[in-house]
Amino acid sequence: MNTASSKSLRRLMMDNVLYICLLMMIVIIAIIAPSFLSLGVLTDILTQSAPRVVLAMGLLVVIISCGIDMTVGRLAGLCAIISGSLAQAVTYNLKFWPGLPEFPIWVPIIAAMLAGLLVGCITGSIVSKLRVPAFLATLGMQMIIYGASLLLINKKPNHSQPLAGYINPFSDFGTGSIAGISYLAIIAIAVMILVHIMLTRTTLGKNIFAIGGNREAAIVSGINVHKIEIFTYALCGFLAGLAGVMLAARTGSATPSYGEGYELDAIASCIIGGASFTGGIGSVPGAFLGVIIFNVINYGLTFIGLSSYFQYIVKGLIIVFAVALDMRKYAHHS
Amino acid sequence: MSELEYILEAHHVSKSFPGVKALNDVTLKIRPGTVHALMGENGAGKSTLMKCMYGIYAMDEGQILINHKEVHIAKPRDVMELGVTMIHQELHSIPPQNVMENVWVGRIPYRKVLGIQWVDKRKMYEDTRKIFDQLQLNIDPKAKVSTLSTSFCQLLEIARAVSFGAKVIIMDEPTSSLTETEAEILFRIIRQLKRENVAIIYISHKIDEILEISDEVTIMRDGSVVGTWNASELTTELIVNRMVGREMTNRFPPHNHTPGDVWLDVSHLTSATPRSFTDISFHVRKGEIFGIGGLVGAQRTELMESIFGLRPVASGDMTINGTRVGITCSKDAIQNGMALLTEERRAKGIFGVLSITDNIVMVRQNLKPDIYHGKTKILLDRKKRDADAHQYTDTLRIKAPSLKTRIMSLSGGNQQKVLVGRWLLTKPTILIMDEPTRGIDVGAKFEIYELMEALAREGKCVIMVSSEMPELIGMSDRIMVMCEGHLSGIVGREAATEETIMSLASTYKKKQGVEENEYRK
């Protein structure tokens, strides 16, 4: 009886290890600095996490289909530059495209997302059609995208200056809010809901799980594997474009260093959120929690007055710890 | 010679998984120099028992004795060092390596030159050669494993066990991927090992085989041992009855269907892949069970996959109900009413980490006309999906804790039934079943046979590729036999005997013999 209940308690803890981690961190931070538990701080965390949440959602879809996309961070950076350059006010004297008029706000947003989509389609085709291993194909693409960012921002007359001078609606998009919830958070939540519905409630989502679960069996089952694989990378690129817009709008600037290393955080978020590199497993709530945990660490450490350099050590520990627990959870199944 | 009565003993072993008592007070004793068969339906606990003895699972209760001394086993390496080796049901060969590296993996011989350890390739080659000669295996130790067929990989596993100098070898379904000729080689090896006082624990579903090779038989059911008998006291009927716990007189359901008009017609089909099949012509009637026999390497699976659009075809035609069909991908095939139950269940069949429901409806939900989307046309109707999954788990008697269970945690027989359900849901007119009963227990086998009968009675074409002679002869209306990618003959039900099929299956065998010898040197 005693052993049985302790066993089921252990199972319960293992199954919900993420929530427990998050709760423990919040409790520890709140004990040291009680003001952490205010609505303002929490919405702040949500707003700051928003671009990362959007990136993680795209990557989640790719990881479920048993792929990996290393481009998303740099792609978000490129798309931040594209959207920022098109969102500058005509009165700004260091305009990136001096000849162009001032555009309505939707032009920079759509342009960046289309750029992301295009790059995603190219990456997807390389992976799916040419069968280049996803890690290598996307690592190569990552470098190409970074190079493109550097070349683009070095264009005359800009000469690698950080972009600035956005039109007001664009800045408002990055910093404004409705009823205390920022636009960015709302977009991130909307993306999560849509991706969640797509993954769990549509044939497309089921096919993505099927390809990740067993590509050969998916081919036998008459699923158009190429089309869906390319779609996952296209979606991932599209969302990276959106994340780039969000970054540019929130910070009021853009440089090629935007989004650097974000892909690794996004991958880690998905994995500690229960997704598996072997494909076929993963969920939106899990990946979301993964992102939030990382940002609570970020925010919380500075909040309690510790150097933010500690965040890397804590993040690293959490990744190792979470995955180790996960392996134990599945150990007796295999 | 050893004076020991038992070389390996398991006493009162119990093991539970969440929700299931997999082993309940199991005792098994193995005498040296004997073949001890372990039988039981899937889920009876044979594999779990072996995994406990082998240190893959930790047992809850019980003890393991080797040479009458209690041993504590934490990991497979411990047992291997004590002289017990297991050959797994799933092959563990590492394909990119060559054969001899595979045999000696983990124990590769070294030679020290200039203070550096170099791989001693010559010794490795000679030692491998010696073992292969002893086992009379016709494999070049330097060949890449990836060029070998599945059956050779299996024999390689056995060669590796022999190289360990094992005193007990556990063989889990060793013949499931072997043809009869290859199985004969295996039996010869087993008899030789017996003479060298090696004990074999032999897990198999094939009763004929067990009666032929084993000395003692232990039968398990539902996690407990039913009993241990001398093989000479047993008959097929006794074994089956004790395994399933009920009377089971016939291995095949009554043959009770009449073929109608020609439905599928294949003419002069030639593969686009060199050295695959050439010029295959046959037809299948509605309501006919069409068997396809042959040895491993006869290109039967390749032919089936080509018909299903998974492999390219160089020339030839296919008609269904008199209409010419061009099938270039599996989707075309499925839309033309075809279904393919693949030979390799794990590699090409199941979506292991997905639920039973997902596995059952996966093909159907990609097909027109659509039945799984509600009014929105976007969202899947979960109730309808579950209802269909439920219907098939019921009619096919799939045993599972829930529809959400991951398919990989089911037994082989239940996995196979889920896959059958997947295809039945698409209402196919042509059902291709490639080795449909491989690795599944007697009860599930019979259910698959009954299902094939029922489908034939409904007027469907059932094409069954099988390496099991009794199954081919017992079930088929006609049997097409292939050899080395050629059609060597089609025999009717009345004329089908094991001898005729065997002789057809080895028509081109001599030619291959020459090639093999060339390959060897």
Q: What would the pLDDT profile of B391-420 be if each residue is shown by its tens digit?
A: 999 999 888 888 999 998 888 888 999 999
Q: How high is the pLDDT of residue B12?
A: 92
B398 shares its domain with B353: yes
Where are the alpha helices (H) located in B404-482, listed in sequence order? Answer: 412-424, 442-457, 469-475
pLDDT per position as a tens digit, A38-72: 888 888 888 989 999 999 999 999 999 999 999 99
Edge-to-edge, what's the strand order for the sheet holding B430-434? Answer: B338-341, B430-434, B461-465, B288-294, B478-483, B486-492
Mean pLDDT of chain A: 89
Q: State whether B365 and B272 are in the same domain.
A: no
Distance CA B372, CA B362 (A): 11
Domain membership of residue B153 (yes or no) is yes
Instruction: Find residue A166's DSSP bridge partners.
Output: A88
Residue A9 above 90 pLDDT?
no
Condensed to tens digits (0 to 9), the pLDDT of residues A162-178 reads 999 999 999 999 999 99
pLDDT band for B512, please (50, 70, 90 cuts): very low
Same domain, B160 and B187: yes
Q: Write the CA distances from A134 to A32, A63, A67, A216, integer angstroms.
A: 44, 10, 6, 17
b/e sequence B490-518, b meaning 16+ C-beta within 10 Å = bbeeeebeeeebbebbbbbeeeeeeeeee
Cβ(B217)–Cβ(B229) below 8 Å: yes
The residue count of chain B comes to: 521
Contacts of residue A276 in chain B, CB cutoff 8 Å? 353
Contacts 24+ apart (CB under 8 A), A202-207: A202/B378, A202/B379, A202/B380, A203/B365, A203/B366, A203/B372, A203/B373, A203/B380, A204/A228, A204/A231, A206/B358, A206/B362, A206/B365, A206/B380, A207/B366
Residue type, A63: I
- On whether the CB atoms of residues B239 and B262 are closer than 8 A, the answer is no
Stated length of chain A: 334
Contact B167, B154 (CB under 8 A): no
The pair of three-digit structure tokens given for residue B247, joined into one six-digit string:
């009377």
Nearest CA in chain B to A211: B351
- Nearest-angstrom CA–CA distance, A159 and A96: 9
Q: How far is B39 from chain A (nearest CA, A)?
A: 23
pLDDT in tens, B425-466: 999 999 999 999 887 777 788 889 999 999 999 999 999 999
**Using CA atoms, how far apart are residues B455 and B463, in angstroms rounded to an integer?**
11
Range from A156-160, A327-331, B239-243 carrying the lowest mean pLDDT: A327-331
B365: closest chain A residue by CA: A203
Verify whether the Cβ–Cβ distance A220 to B362 is below 8 Å.
no
Identify all chain B residues contacting A210, using CB atoms and an 8 Å cutoff: 351, 354, 358, 362
B353 burial type by CB count under 10 A (0-12 exposed, 13-18 middle, 19+ buried): buried
Confidence of residue B238 (pLDDT cuts 50, 70, 90): confident
Check whether residue B89 and residue B156 sit in a common domain.
yes
Tell me which residue range forms the domain holding B279. 250-337+430-436+460-469+476-521
Could you give the 3-state DSSP secondary structure of residue A22? Answer: helix
Nearest to B330 among A213, A219, A333 (CB): A219
Compute the radius of gyration of chain B from its Cα atoms.
24
Q: Which of A209, A213, A221 sits opposite B363 (nearest CB)?
A: A221
CA angle B100, B197, B201 (to 5 degrees): 75
Looking at B178, B211, B244, the residue that finishes a domain is B244
Contact partners, residue A77, CB within 8 Å, separation at least 6: A145, A146, A149, A244, A247, A254, A255, A256, A257, A258, A259, A260
CA distances from A300 to A50, A288, A305 (A): 17, 18, 9
| Residue A221 with chain B: CB contacts under 8 Å | 330, 334, 362-363, 366, 422
Contact A276 B353 (CB under 8 A): yes
**Closest-CA residue of chain A to B305:** A220
Q: What is the pLDDT of residue A332?
A: 45
Q: What is the mean pLDDT of chain B?
A: 84
Average of pLDDT values for B172-195? 79
Do residue B351 and residue B330 come from a single domain? no
CB pairs under 8 A between A and B: 83
Q: What is the DSSP letter of B145?
A: G
* pLDDT score, position A184: 95
Judge if B240 and B254 occupy the same domain.
no
Cα-flanking dihedrals φ and ψ of residue B354, to 5°?
Answer: -95, 165
pLDDT, greater one: B95 or A120: A120
* Same domain, yes or no: B179 and B282: no
Average pLDDT for A88-93: 90
Closest chain A residue to B309, measured at CA: A220
| Contact assessment for residue B23 and residue B49, using Cβ atoms and an 8 Å cutoff | yes
Q: Give the span between the Cα atoms of A85 and A94, in whole angstroms.
A: 11
Q: Which amino acid is at B135?
A: L
The more confidently predicted of residues B257 and B101 is B257
Q: Which of B199, B214, B244 is the last residue of a domain?
A: B244
CA A223 to chain centre: 27
Q: Pick the last residue of a domain from B244, B276, B305.
A: B244
Q: Where are the alpha helices (DSSP H) in chain A?
A: 2-15, 17-32, 39-64, 72-86, 106-128, 134-153, 168-175, 183-201, 203-213, 215-220, 225-251, 262-272, 284-303, 310-331
The reported pLDDT for the residue numbered B288 is 95
Compare A324 and B507 and report the one with higher pLDDT. A324
Q: How far away is chain A from the Cα of B76, in angstroms, using its nearest Cα? A: 15
Interface test with A, best of B15, B47, B328, B353 (most A CBs within 10 A): B353
Q: Are B35 and B44 in contact (CB under 8 A)?
A: no
Looking up residue B416, the CATH number of its domain turns out to be 3.40.50.300
In a domain, B442, yes or no: no
pLDDT score, position B90: 55
Q: Please indicate, yes or no, whether residues B174 and B293 belong to a single structural domain of this protein.
A: no
Partner residue facing A202 (CB), from B334, B342, B378: B378
Are both B327 and B275 inside the same structural domain? yes
> Does B521 have pLDDT greater than 60?
no
Q: Which amino acid is at A232?
A: T
The secondary structure element, H or E, covering residue B216 is strand B216-221
Domain count within chain B: 3
* For residue B193, pLDDT beyond 50: yes
Residue for token pair 């007796």: A332
Tell me the C-alpha distance between B446 and B252, whole Å: 7
Q: What is the pLDDT of residue A330?
A: 60
What is the C-alpha radius of gyration for chain A, rounded to an integer number of angstroms? Answer: 21
Share above pLDDT 90 across residues of chain A, in percent, rounded to a whole number: 63
Starting at the earlier edge strand, list the strands of the sheet with B224-230: B84-87, B168-172, B199-203, B35-39, B216-221, B224-230
Q: What is the rounded CA–CA span in Å between residue A74 and residue A244? A: 9
Domain-embedded: residue B119 = no
Q: What is the ipTM of this complex?
A: 0.86
Closest to A325 measured CA to CA, from A12, A65, A97: A12
User: B383 and B364: one domain?
Assistant: yes
pTM over 0.90: no
Beta carbons within 8 Å of A334's beta carbon, 6+ residues apart: none
The stretches of B350-476 forming alpha helices (DSSP H) are 356-361, 382-395, 412-424, 442-457, 469-475
| Rounded Cα gap, residues A193 and A285, in angstroms | 10
Retrieve residue B446's tokens: 């019979």
Within 10 A of A159 (CB to CB), how many other CB atoms are there? 9
Per the listing, tokens 């060339």 go with: B518
Contact residues for B153 (Cβ-Cβ < 8 A; gap 6+): B91, B93, B145
Host H or E run for residue B219: strand B216-221
Q: Tell me: do B260 and B388 sit in the same domain.
A: no
- In contact, B269 and B279? CB cutoff 8 Å: yes
Q: Looking at the structure, do residues B328 and B359 belong to the same domain, yes or no?
A: no
The more confidently predicted of residues B328 and A20 is B328
B319 vs B358: CA distance, rounded Å: 32
Q: Rounded to 5, what percent of chain B is helix, strand, coil?
A: 35, 25, 40
What percent of chain B shows pLDDT beyond 90? 35
